[in-house]
Structure 1
Amino acid sequence: MDPRSAARRSAPCAALLLALITLAAGCTPGRGGVVGTPGAAGVRDPYFPRLGNGGYDVSHYDLDLRVDGASGHPGAGHSSAGHPRAGRLSGTAVITARATQDLSAFNLDLSGMEVRSVTVEGRPAAVNRAGSELTLRPDAPVADRLRAGRTFRTVVRYDGVPRTVTDADGSEEGWLRTAHGTVALGQPAGSMVWFPGNHHPSDKASYDVRITVPEGRSAVSNGELTSRRTAEGRTTFHWRVREPMASSFATVAVGPYGVRRTATADGLPVVTAADPEVAGATAALPARISEVVAWGVRHFGPYPFSSAGAIVGVPGDAGYALETQNRPFFPGPPDSALLVHELAHQWFGDSVTPRTWRDMWLSEGFATYAEWLWSAEHDGVPVAESFAEAYADEANWDFPAARPPGPADLSRPPVYGRGAMVVHRIRQEMGDDEAFFALVRGWLRAHRHGNASTDDFTAFVEEESGLDLTELWDTWLNGGSRPARG
């Protein structure tokens, strides 16, 4: 039998069978005969498998936020007790994305907030909620806009009191009440408490963030301030992030911050926001940031963003500093080592972002190594001495830098100290400092504003250096015990 004639005769039956299979699988035929499937509810990150979503790639977030009521934690003169709208956030998120498959439905990550309405391409979409997962089923007439490769726009209106989240390691993230206001910190997943999106670092996007706050308060975010308008007792600040940013590095800080705008010798804008309590202690911070950025440019190549700076609260506002893009957050005035670490993250972590959370050593190890380099040049402590100190620290050998046991271990010493030792061992194996720093700059250039994995890094190093570093990776990076110093 000619299989082609059999196929022609069976076409009507095949079409019927396909329709039945499609319905049974929960697929939705789109206009023009396109059959879509739901996007995945997570990207299968090794430590956070439900984080992020599949089936689309976000290119831009446009967030319009209104912060109502009092803020600040009790005892700071801004207690929210008894205030029915204290710390309440009302938001509209316009999310522009490109479908990477034919979609019948897709997910957004949002935790705790109440969803008031959702539209996709201007038409209402059905919404189902399960924990922090929103499943959106667009109206049939817009199905054609959700074909693979097409761009579509989703609008989510929501409100509520954003949550503070306690991580597996006991630290807090999300929407934090500070002494005099609030700050949003999002590593690894806290940003989903204040805006809906694809909250995994593998999906980076540009941002417009408008924050409306009571007059007299400042609202500071990433990127550059494009406008500030006051009307009827409220001020709206519009911040724009042109370069791609992972949502874990997005921030909003609201409070009585004093904001200063300066520039580096090369004209890079430097924006610093400081709580009034630390105004005196941070007076020299803009100049220090300019110095560290210029030093970083010499070692790592061009600064990757259109501005630098910092947000400085008071001790107790958070239990840690964070490399929020353009301007890291510090809970109090930073010392030199901490400032160098967080500014180095603008290259290692913010511009070149780990592909999964297992690859976090790529950012923390390099930022720690930047501390060692700075200390060698400014404090007279040779890198070899910093390496020896890290080698002697038992805590750095609790597990391999590239294989933390679980989410609670992502910020433990091996990711930082052992990660930095791996970087130095590469430098030793190459035996040529000029070639080593050229390799580092090449790595940053190759993955600028993108994502990279440990496998990407090891392959790049071997290809660029011409060395077989299998033993180094097996012992220093992935080994289960402390190797000989070499």
Structure 2
Amino acid sequence: MSNELPFVNMRIRTRVCSGGVAACLVTVLTATTASAAPVRGAPGVGDPYYPGDGNGGYDVTHYDIRLTYQPETDRLSGTTTILATSTAELSSFNLDFALDVESVRVNNRPARVERDPADPTEVVVVPEEVVGKGEPMTVVVRYADTPSEVAVDGVTAWKLTETGALAVDEPHIAEWWFPSSDHPTDKATYDVSVEVPDDVVALSNGVLAGTSKQRVGWTRWNWRSVEPQATYLTFLAVGDYDVRYSTTPSGLPSVTAYETTLGDSRAAAEASIERTPEVVEFLEGLFGPYPFEAQGGVVSTGLDFALENQTRPVYDAGFFSRGSNLSVVVHENAHQWFGDSVSLGRWSDIWLNEGFASYAEFLWSEHVGEGTADELARYLYESIPADDEFWQVLPGDPGADNQFHSAVYDRGALAVHALRTTVGDEVFFELLRTWLDERRGGHGTVEEFIALAEKLSGKQLDEVFDTWLFTKGKPKVGPSGAEVRAAVAEPESYREIAFTHEQLAKRQ
């Protein structure tokens, strides 16, 4: 959010005196500068679901997070340095953070810290000197707390495990371990450095820049992410993990890790996660080049979901309780394009993340000969009764309470398939690659995606999107996949398309 300074009002005044026109006609240029007082940066970016998320008045470019964590006591302490640029003349600004703050410095000067009584995650920072518009800001925050004891709106997103802790969740997790502008539209690069006892490891995003020791019994793990990354996709996993380091066929570093408490699920987890480079190679053929500097995955306990943390998804062990599960690996790695590289512009745009990641599972199924998208779609469509609440949730704007409802995933995937059958494969895959290429490292909205789809297809697509994304109720049952493909040339025929997908037992 930008707060523009008022314009400078220029007036010309003419004064006549005795002594001749040439000598005495004086044109006086006066300037009245309507210089407003510095502003307080807004406490949020105005997201319709989470108005307090993110902060106005500045844009973050980099986070340097340097921490020490003791699993035995769940004590987290350290410093986060934020590099940002002001977008207004600031007398104060906000950070999104729930832990106890010891001190804040802005451009090397101590700053005053206040808590917003209406929202405990809003930390108001009042610098000693006003920050000019367009100026660089270096904000250093020192803090210490016990994250598992901190609740926001009755929720504690920090998760303790048998061997350590996880900072993994959506839509919010940063508040429990680093101060930030917590919205997907304000991406940054990251250095994450965490010191932990020698008997556990600290895992995060990107490339392992190295480990070091400064005192007996402790090891510091240093991770670097060089591509723009959203706050909720930045994670920390501390615990007893077996870690593997390798290089993918494309030359990228890969880090996979398995918590030592996985039990009988360990082999199935490895049989799934170690195929990540194969999955990524398949997805590159659909979506274009992989957008990041590293790959991998972490399997842990204590989540009950999987999350597409940038470069390194984290999976709950339960996904592998019945054997290998490539579907969830496909889903979370498809998010590296849809959700991570191109993030949602508002949390109401969640379909742009989950609908396409779920549809990638359809495409993988076709790839490995386990059913076409039409076959899978018909099965799901027919398995959900018309009176099921599933059909009352709108994937295009599900509401904050239903962001992760199964309809967002599965009806969302049906919407993607409806689009594919309406515009044809050539336009469909061109659309996906164009969307991802043009917005790489940025974000987008559902409306912007629809506009691009109409531009590339040359078709008016309101009806197909309205039916599958924004209209309650079960769309009419349609013909077989073969009949659908024969009807693609008729734009109105999308209402007769039936789709299907086998749901994951647990996912996010």
TM range (shorter): 0.7 to 0.9
Choose from 286, 293, 301 the match for 1:299: 286
Q: 1:262 to 1:147 in 2, by over 3 A?
A: same
Residue type at the aligned position of 2:254: V
Deviating more after overlay: 180-189 vs 476-485: 476-485
Give 1:236 deviation, angstroms: 0.1
* Residues 1:400 and 2:414 are matched in the alignment: no
Could you list the per-position Cα deviations for residues 95-124 of structure 1 after superposition, in whole angstroms to 9, with x for gaps in the alignment?
A: 00011122111100111x111110000001
Separation (CA, whole Å) in 2 of partners of 1:370 and 1:66: 39
* Residues 1:128 and 2:114 are matched in the alignment: yes
Give 1:165 deviation, angstroms: 7.5
Q: 1:116 to 1:238 in 2, by over 3 A?
A: same
Residue 65 of structure 1 contacts residue 90 of structure 1 at CA under 8 Å; is this kept in 2?
A: yes
Separation (CA, whole Å) in 2 of partners of 1:440 and 1:69: 43
Could you list the per-position Cα deviations for residues 373-408 of structure 1 after superposition, in whole angstroms to 9, with x for gaps in the alignment?
A: 11122242110122223433244312221111x322
Residue 331 of structure 2 contacts residue 361 of structure 2 at CA under 8 Å; is this kept in 1?
A: yes
Q: Structure 2 unaligned segments of length 5 or more: list them.
A: 1-9, 16-26, 477-494, 497-508
Could you list the per-position Cα deviations for residues 319-356 of structure 1 after superposition, in whole angstroms to 9, with x for gaps in the alignment?
A: 21111111111111541111111111111111110011
Give 1:186 deviation, angstroms: 3.4
Residue type at the aligned position of 1:452: G
Choose from 224, 227, 239 the match for 1:240: 224
Residue 196 of structure 2 contacts residue 202 of structure 2 at CA under 8 Å; is this kept in 1?
A: yes
Q: How does 1:218-367 map onto structure 2 within 5 Å?
A: 218-230=201-213, 231-278=215-262, 279-314=266-301, 317-332=302-317, 334=320, 335-367=325-357
Choose from 378, 393, 417 the match for 1:388: 378
Residue type at the aligned position of 1:472: V
Residue type at the aligned position of 1:290: P
Residue 110 of structure 1 contacts residue 192 of structure 1 at CA under 8 Å; is this kept in 2?
A: yes
Choose from 398, 403, 406 the match for 1:413: 406
Separation (CA, whole Å) in 2 of partners of 1:52 and 1:423: 29
Residue 366 of structure 1 contacts residue 420 of structure 1 at CA under 8 Å; is this kept in 2?
A: yes
Residue 242 of structure 2 contacts residue 257 of structure 2 at CA under 8 Å; is this kept in 1?
A: yes
Could you list the per-position Cα deviations for residues 51-88 of structure 1 after superposition, in whole angstroms to 9, with x for gaps in the alignment?
A: 11111110000000100251xxxxxxxxxxxxxxx100
Q: 1:223 to 1:173 in 2, by over 3 A?
A: farther
Of all paired residues, the percent bearing the same amino acid is 40
Residue 58 of structure 2 contacts residue 84 of structure 2 at CA under 8 Å; is this kept in 1?
A: yes
Per the alignment, residue 434 of structure 1 pairs with 426
Could you list the per-position Cα deviations for residues 202-232 of structure 1 after superposition, in whole angstroms to 9, with x for gaps in the alignment?
A: 1110000000001121000001110101232
State the superposition RMSD in angstroms: 2.4
Q: 1:4 to 1:10 in 2, by over 3 A?
A: closer
Residue 310 of structure 1 contacts residue 329 of structure 1 at CA under 8 Å; is this kept in 2?
A: yes
Q: 1:167 to 1:363 in 2, by over 3 A?
A: farther
* Residues 1:477 and 2:469 are matched in the alignment: yes
Per the alignment, residue 167 of structure 2 pairs with 184
Residue 42 of structure 2 contacts residue 94 of structure 2 at CA under 8 Å; is this kept in 1?
A: yes
Separation (CA, whole Å) in 2 of partners of 1:449 and 1:329: 21
Q: How does 1:108-257 map onto structure 2 within 5 Å?
A: 108-111=95-98, 113-130=99-116, 131-140=120-129, 143=130, 146-163=131-148, 174-230=157-213, 231-257=215-241
SS for the counterpart of 1:284 is helix
* Residues 1:60 and 2:62 are matched in the alignment: yes
Separation (CA, whole Å) in 1 of partners of 2:446 and 2:43: 25
Structure 1 length-normalised TM: 0.86
Residue 272 of structure 2 contacts residue 326 of structure 2 at CA under 8 Å; is this kept in 1?
A: no
Residue type at the aligned position of 2:440: R
Give 1:261 deviation, angstroms: 1.1
Residue type at the aligned position of 1:202: T
Residue 256 of structure 2 contacts residue 274 of structure 2 at CA under 8 Å; is this kept in 1?
A: no
Give 1:480 deviation, angstroms: 2.6
Residue 148 of structure 2 contacts residue 160 of structure 2 at CA under 8 Å; is this kept in 1?
A: no
Residue 321 of structure 1 contacts residue 328 of structure 1 at CA under 8 Å; is this kept in 2?
A: yes
SS for the counterpart of 1:183 is strand
Residue type at the aligned position of 2:44: G
Residue 14 of structure 2 contacts residue 28 of structure 2 at CA under 8 Å; is this kept in 1?
A: yes
Give 1:147 deviation, angstroms: 2.4
SS for the counterpart of 2:261 is helix
Q: Structure 1 unaligned segments of length 5 or more: list them.
A: 28-35, 71-85
SS for the counterpart of 1:163 is helix
Residue 40 of structure 2 contacts residue 93 of structure 2 at CA under 8 Å; is this kept in 1?
A: yes
Give 1:166 deviation, angstroms: 7.6
Separation (CA, whole Å) in 2 of partners of 1:296 and 1:96: 34
Choose from 424, 444, 453 the match for 2:445: 453
Separation (CA, whole Å) in 2 of partners of 1:471 and 1:69: 53
Q: 1:347 to 1:173 in 2, by over 3 A?
A: farther
Structure 2 length-normalised TM: 0.82
Separation (CA, whole Å) in 1 of partners of 2:292 and 2:199: 29
Residue 57 of structure 1 contacts residue 97 of structure 1 at CA under 8 Å; is this kept in 2?
A: yes
Per the alignment, residue 488 of structure 2 pairs with none
